[in-house]
A and B are shown apart, each in its own frame.
Chain A
Amino acid sequence: MFGATELSFTYPSGRRGLREVSLRGDPGERVVVMGPNGSGKSTLLRLVSTELPSRQGSLTLFGEACQPPSRALRRRIGIVQDTPVHLDDLTGMENALLFAELYGLLRAEAASALAALFTSLGLDDPLDVPTREYSYGMRKKLLVAEALVHEPEMLILDEPALGLDPPSRAALLRMLVERSEKGVCTLVATNEPALAQEFATTVVLLHEGGVVAHGSPAELLAKVGGATRIEVHVAGAPPAGPIHGDPSAAGVTPPGPTAAGPAFAGLPADIVSIQQLPGRIIAESRSGPDVLPQLVGAVLAAGLKIERITLREPDLTDVFALFTGQALDAEKENA
């Protein structure tokens, strides 16, 4: 469906949007691109959607070179941009019919196809209302319906679930999976690890315009192991001195290889790594929450006041951090 070989893009300002990215998407494949803001996700999508010219490296769509893109080629693609733009004086149905017609559909066939899409997305009621009165989520759903109405062979979606409520999000993913099972190739950009893990057949991690890792979600998660991530939020500054486990507790041994040195001596061996950040201590546990008593004991022994403790399983943000040493979701890391 699409194939990029050493695809690069430089913006007029000189900023490199993408650096020698090689990637392919086959029929039925669901490729999810993740990366922090400015990593090149949207640039990649804009190149594959033919919005930007692919002059550095090569890009093929449906087996043919796409520069300049033909009208027929563009009609084989459905696009959901990150910002849902509509004609705000027209109703949702009028907007959707317009784009269906531009995709080459007759109004009658478009109307029936749209009716089914609107029902699936839960957008039946406000169809006769100007889109200026729509919420962001409703606009996004309308955009999705407009991108799917002509049954494209390839879908390109930039943050498709952003702004959607949980039922709509589930409906969207269901519709996308159904289409991929019929052979539609899907290229998605998102910063939502849960969406990528749930939906993707291939995940591509982008950093500073280049691919740092790609593979199935399972393959990528295997790289960070299955250690549970325990975050202990503490009041005040991080401990100045070492955090020690209770030496009398069973199984207390020096921590694993990524532990932060002698400050954490004496914690259970199942804690494979521990990090001290301002206001937080993050530990990775091979035995899930079983190590909590020892960890809490060590933190309290260091004279710190625990505000809350969170546990989560590793996700693709951890894979990204492993490869780049940086947080994929800075907000989450700094929360």
Chain B
Amino acid sequence: MTVAVLRTEWLTALRRRRLFVFNILIPLTLVTTIALSPAPAVHAAAVFTVLFALFGTFGSSIPLIRDGESGLLRRYVLTGIHPGGLLLQRVFAAATLDLVELAPSVLVIVAARGSSASQLVMLVPAMILGLLAANALGAITAAFAKSVAEGALFSAVAALLLLHWAGTFRSPVPGTWQATLEAWNPFLPLHESLLAAAGAGGPDLDPALLTPPLVTTLAVLLLITAAGRYTIGLGGR
């Protein structure tokens, strides 16, 4: 399978130098301000998690809606590329771009809050997983949106809801269905690792915590691939 779409997304991002720099500087400004402030770790981690999740969700949904409106996605699909494969390439491209653009922010958190090496190591897979999930969520919300404004609204609401269920704002009571939902939530490792890195103390993140959210993320990506032709609405098999 060709990865021409993924490569093109990267090429386009690098050509838009101004936007690329802004995408690094804007989260960096917020993260630096909070990381250097005496804000409690629990609040700082919540802000970082929300910021990173919305960064991923918006970054996926809005370009997809825009390219759908312009007819670019239609052009892609009519070349014979599988619609699900197209979506998957877009999600991976956007997630890897987000990872690069947010890396300076993560390093600032680690440096400013004096995180341990193991906390930094855990942040990497958690960021990858969280950003993949956020971009996948963006692709799903884009399928339901009829305009960029709708896309932004749906993305924000869906991401905040999932972040809530990930225990970002308040941990659920153990043994409840909310706790089960939290364990499988792809944003859980992101929040937990950022919480640890932001200086909440306690033990380092347990790698086993990654497995259920990883399964959820893979399932969502599989769903996007399988339902791609319905998502883009151009048929094809």
Task: Point out residues on A near B: beta carbons under 8 Å.
Answer: 49-51, 53, 67-75, 77, 79, 81, 83, 85-87, 89-90, 94, 98-99, 101-104, 130
Contacts and interface: CB of A to CB of B under 8 A. Distances in A.
Given A71-B237, A75-B79, A89 B16 contact: yes
19 contacts: A50-B78, A50-B236, A68-B236, A69-B237, A71-B81, A74-B79, A75-B79, A79-B75, A79-B78, A83-B71, A86-B72, A87-B12, A90-B8, A99-B75, A101-B2, A102-B2, A102-B80, A102-B81, A104-B80
A317 B234 CA distance: 34
Nearest to B75: A85
Contact of B237 (A70, A75, A102, A130): A70
A142 to B, nearest CB: 12
B22 interface: no
B117 interface: no
* For the complex of A and B, 6 pairs with smallest distance between CB atoms: A74-B80, A102-B79, A71-B80, A75-B80, A89-B15, A101-B4
Interface residues of B, number: 25
B236 A85 contact: no
B164 interface: no
Contacts of A102: 2, 4-5, 76, 79-81
Contact of A87 (B8, B80, B236): B8
Nearest to A66: B235
Contacts of A130: 15
Contact of B12 (A51, A75, A89): A89
Q: Interface centre among B71, B75, B234, by most A CB within 10 Å?
A: B75
B80 A98 contact: no
Interface string B40-81: 000000000000000000000000000000111011111111
Contacts of A71: 80-82, 236-237
A67 to B, nearest CB: 8
Contacts of A75: 79-80
Interface in B1-44: 2, 4-5, 8, 11-12, 15-16
Given A51-B234, A90-B11, A98 B229 contact: no
Contacts of A68: 229, 235-237
B235 A103 contact: no
A79 B78 CA distance: 8
Contacts of B16: 89
Given A87-B8, A89-B15, A99-B75, A72 B70 contact: no
Nearest to A101: B4
A212 to B, nearest CB: 29
Contacts of A49: 78
Contacts of B2: 101-102, 104
